[in-house]
């Protein structure tokens, strides 16, 4: 595992000489964040040794290197989801590679379903905590001591410092922000009504199919993480409302894009 990470890192360093300070993972519908990057280099995932290989025809993903707000960043344009058939370890491989490339902060984003009755489609939520028990943990298996401890502490999975900074930026810029708990599920089915209710009762504000395995891998390595969700649909909808569709999710994510870009750009500039 460590050898595979090092081989990926060596390959990337041959093509891009700078050390990125920030790693960014873009969620569904948020791919145009790369417009905010002064791009220096792009490397397709398919070129990088040991990166998960996409089985989906036409699926393209790449690492984008460049600058945002005077900071060197590496951005994953396209992430790996457990529901695509990758193992939890494959899903988090790029996070480990970015850490070995030198990132000191990890910023993630996703589209999620709202189960907090106060939430509306298009809301942006800072993830303050998560519930990971419905998905496989990426740290299951032999522990790589070089990455982190066998039993990592999870009392602050999302950096309180970064959350405070983001809230201050949002207040200054007049960006409305929610805060709450993200419940991770495997997907690819959206939830049944009973499942959305369970997720609400168990303490969730939103539910989604990404992010949490990546954050667990980051915390394992002592890498501070910050994540936001865009609420793209409401799980607990009144009787008779039409069901959630992927198109609806992508459309709603797009409407929140300006808020998301403004917050992430300023957060990166202030790191
Ligand atoms: N459930 C799970 N994942 C999601 C949802 C949802 O309702 N919306 C966007 N991603």
Determine the distance separating the centroid of ligand 1 and the alpha carbon of 229, expressed in angstroms: 10
Q: Strand 71-77 relative to strand 105-114: parallel, antiparallel, unpaired?
A: unpaired
Q: Which of 83, 108, 112 to mutate to test the pocket of ligand 1 (most atoms within 8 A of CB)?
A: 112
> Does 214 contact ligand 1 (Cβ within 6 A)?
no
> Does 191 contact ligand 1 (Cβ within 6 A)?
yes
Q: Which atom of ligand 1 is nearest to the CA of 185?
A: 2
Determine the distance separating the centroid of ligand 1 and the alpha carbon of 117, expressed in angstroms: 15
Q: What is the pLDDT of residues 4-52, one digit of tens each?
A: 999 999 999 999 999 999 999 998 888 889 999 999 999 999 999 999 8
CA distances from 16 to 42, 74, 130, 241 (A): 9, 11, 34, 50
Determine the distance separating the centroid of ligand 1 and the alpha carbon of 71, expressed in angstroms: 32
pTM given for the model: 0.95
**In angstroms, rounded to a whole number, what is the distance separating the alpha carbons of residues 138 and 157?**
15
> Does 209 contact ligand 1 (Cβ within 6 A)?
yes
Domains of the chain by range and CATH? Answer: 2-270 (3.40.50.1580)
**Nearest to 26, CA basis, from 72, 63, 70:** 63
Parts of the chain with a pLDDT under 70:
54-60
**In angstroms, rounded to a whole number, what is the distance separating the alpha carbons of residues 104 and 91?**
20
Tokens for 262, please give them.
């403004």
For residue 43, the model assigns a pLDDT of 96
For residue 250, the model assigns a pLDDT of 82
200: region left, alpha or beta (phi > 0 left; psi from -120 to 50 alpha):
alpha
For residue 54, the model assigns a pLDDT of 64
Determine the distance separating the centroid of ligand 1 and the alpha carbon of 240, expressed in angstroms: 19
């Amino acid at each position: 595992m460590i050898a595979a990470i090092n081989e990926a890192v060596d390959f990337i360093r041959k093509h891009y000489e700078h050390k990125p300070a920030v790693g960014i993972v873009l969620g569904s519908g948020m791919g145009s964040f790369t417009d905010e990057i002064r791009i220096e280099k792009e490397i397709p995932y398919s070129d990088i040794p040991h990166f998960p290989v996409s089985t989906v025809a036409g699926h393209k993903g790449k690492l984008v290197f460049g600058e945002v707000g005077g900071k060197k960043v590496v951005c994953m344009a396209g992430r790996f989801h457990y529901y695509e058939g990758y193992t939890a370890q494959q899903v988090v491989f790029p996070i480990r590679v970015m850490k070995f490339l030198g990132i000191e902060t990890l910023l993630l984003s996703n589209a999620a379903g709202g189960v907090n009755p106060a939430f509306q489609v298009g809301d942006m939520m800072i993830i303050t905590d998560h519930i990971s028990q419905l998905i496989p943990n990426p740290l299951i298996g032999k522990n790589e001591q070089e990455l982190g401890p066998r039993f990592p502490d999870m009392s602050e999975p999302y950096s309180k410092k970064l959350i405070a900074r983001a809230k201050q930026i949002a207040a200054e810029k007049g960006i409305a922000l929610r805060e709450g708990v993200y419940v991770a599920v495997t997907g690819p089915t959206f939830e049944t009504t009973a499942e959305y209710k369970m997720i609400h009762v168990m303490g969730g504000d939103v539910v989604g199919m990404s992010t949490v395995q990546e954050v667990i891998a980051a915390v394992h390595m002592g890498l501070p993480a910050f994540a936001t969700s865009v609420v793209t649909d409401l799980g607990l909808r009144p009787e008779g409302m039409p069901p959630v569709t992927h198109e609806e999710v992508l459309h709603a994510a797009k409407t929140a894009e300006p808020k998301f870009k403004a917050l992430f750009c300023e957060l990166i500039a202030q790191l």
